[in-house]
Amino acid sequence: MIAVTLAILIGLLALAIPVAAALGILGLALSDIYSRLPLSLAMGEMAWATSNNFLLVAIPFFVLLGEILLRSGMAERMYNALVLWMPWLPGGLMHSNIAACAMFAATSGSSVATAATIGTVAMGEIKKHGYSERLFLGTIAAGGTLGILIPPSINMIVYGVLTETSIPKLYLAGILPGLVLAGLFSLTVLGFCLWRPHWGGTRMTASWAARRAALPDLVPPLIIFLAVIGSIYAGWATATESAALGVLAALGVAAWHRRLSMRMLLQAFEGTMRTTAMIMAILVAAYFLNFVITSIGLTTQVNRFITSLGLSPTELLIVVIVFYIILGMFMETLSMMVATVPIIAPIMFQAGFDPIWFGIMVILLMETAMITPPVGINLYVVQGLRTRGKIDDVIIGTLPFVATLVVMLVLMSIFPDLALFLPRAASD
């Protein structure tokens, strides 16, 4: 049964069938092959139950938040302000790319939106200052992955819904790992620029007066972050309500900078509808697939198979990490999450792993998948912004950051308190 499922899924993906359709077709095929009952009749109920989940209402809000920030010019002002504060480091603007991605991640909740937004602003600086193009592109693709680790995060919401884990605790758990990972990305740039100084481009200078004048442009992301995250921990709003507050704050920032217009809003709404429709289609298809594989006993079979291997918790963790890294080379991250987490998470919890900690590990593995060829979505986002050359340059420039993510996974395994310290402190 396991082999048949994998063969059908790989075949559908190889035919370049859209992910949502592939998951739905797989569910229907497994139902026809292994079930005596017409499980397809449950698809309508699956669609209703999925779209009627109050927590998932946060997804279109966070997508809209990112769309407004993208079109309000906030990202460009934030990036230009960071440029003035980071030029003294070897690698200059490449550190600004990572810092800007980290700040934008704290407001958008999406890795693709983060990479696309910062990449749009930063792409013109490569030749102007003589940077290594490959490494510069790598910082945008890798920095963009911070969008799903630093809260708020759409993927954390999905994980929380799938595993019935507290989303506020997941948000707290993502803060320290997100900051540590951003620091490791910057250390990676620093190491390469010390090794090959000409990769770091020409040094830029900025006066303290210019730096102080740019500080107000760093305030809006902080305001939005506090509106979203602060409202949750102050007890004023749920995760869904905080997303709505974030949208209001973004509208306020856009109005303050006189960028709020009917045209901008219509563009933001259209982008939100497109992205939300794609996400919900994947979720509905994945929920139906999970219902089918549970009904036909595939979940039990997988659990029995893994249990029969007699793996220790550490060995099990290594197997899961390798599994996700390999799967991430060929599958889109959100669909990978909703298709695998309901099966793998119970096994990990039974082995004694903390649901909050495992959630952050899953997010880190999703980040790795986003920049792992051949299907890493951020690679294609950055190449699309570049509009010239081969995607090989983006892939080569991103490989050092894939290694950095593996280092982060090892650190998280050795020091689980990186994720658990803040949730534990908030509970005490």
Give yes or no for residue 410 having a pLDDT over 90.
yes
Query: If you compute the radius of gyration of the chain from its CA atoms, what whole number of angstroms results?
Result: 22
Cα–Cα distance measured from residue 90 to residue 203, given in angstroms and rounded to the nearest whole number: 8
Which one has a higher pLDDT value, 225 or 37? 225
Cα–Cα distance measured from residue 85 to residue 210, given in angstroms and rounded to the nearest whole number: 9
| Contact present, 110 and 147 (Cβ < 8 Å) | yes
pLDDT digits 0-9 by tens, 223-242:
888 888 888 877 788 878 88
- 3-state class (DSSP) for residue 200: strand
The answer to which of 48-62, 150-164, 244-258 has the lowest mean pLDDT is 48-62
| Contact present, 394 and 382 (Cβ < 8 Å) | yes
pLDDT of residue 258: 85
Q: How many domains does the chain have?
A: 1
| Contact present, 265 and 64 (Cβ < 8 Å) | no
| Contact present, 243 and 58 (Cβ < 8 Å) | yes
What would the mean pLDDT of 77-92 be, rounded to a whole number?
Answer: 80
Question: Own/partner pairs for 4-13, CB < 8 Å, 24+ apart?
Answer: 4/30, 4/33, 5/30, 5/293, 5/298, 10/330, 13/330, 13/331
Comparing C-alpha atoms, which of 366, 360, 363 is closest to residue 378?
366
| Contact present, 337 and 369 (Cβ < 8 Å) | no
Dihedral sign, Cα of residue 37, residue 41, residue 43, residue 48: negative
| Contact present, 367 and 111 (Cβ < 8 Å) | yes
Q: What is the mean pLDDT of the chain?
A: 84
pLDDT digits 0-9 by tens, 144-154:
899 889 988 88
Please, where are the H alpha helices in 109-238? Answer: 111-122, 125-129, 133-144, 154-163, 167-195, 208-214, 219-225, 231-233
pLDDT digits 0-9 by tens, 165-196:
998 899 999 999 999 999 999 999 999 998 98
Report the 3 state secondary structure along 64-130.
Answer: HHHHHHHHHCHHHHHHHHHHHHCCCCCCCHHHHHHHHHHHHHHHHCCHHHHHHHHHHHHCCHHHHHC
Establish whether the linkage from the previous residue to 152 is cis, with ω within 30° of 0: yes
> Please, which pLDDT band fits residue 428 given cuts at 50, 70 and 90?
low
Give yes or no for residue 271 having a pLDDT over 80.
yes
| Contact present, 242 and 229 (Cβ < 8 Å) | yes
pLDDT of residue 173: 94
Give yes or no for residue 6 having a pLDDT over 70.
no
Give yes or no for residue 272 having a pLDDT over 80.
yes
Residues whose CB is less than 8 angstroms from the CB of residue 3 and which lie 6 or more positions away in sequence, other chains included: none
In DSSP notation, 371-422 reads TSTTT-HHHHHHHHHH-SS-HHHHHHHHHHHHHHHHHHHHHHHH-THHHHHH
| pTM recorded for the entire structure | 0.86
pLDDT of residue 165: 92
> What domain range includes position 72?
2-427
**Structure tokens belonging to residue 81:** 């302000």
What would the mean pLDDT of 55-66 be, rounded to a whole number?
Answer: 83
H or E element in which residue 57 lies: none
> Please, which pLDDT band fits residue 3 given cuts at 50, 70 and 90?
low
pLDDT of residue 274: 85
**Strongest mean pLDDT among 42-56, 126-140, 298-312, 355-369:** 355-369
| Contact present, 376 and 190 (Cβ < 8 Å) | no
Q: Which residues lie across from 131 on neighbouring strands?
A: 200
Give yes or no for residue 356 having a pLDDT over 80.
yes
pLDDT of residue 419: 95
Cα–Cα distance measured from residue 187 to residue 177, given in angstroms and rounded to the nearest whole number: 15
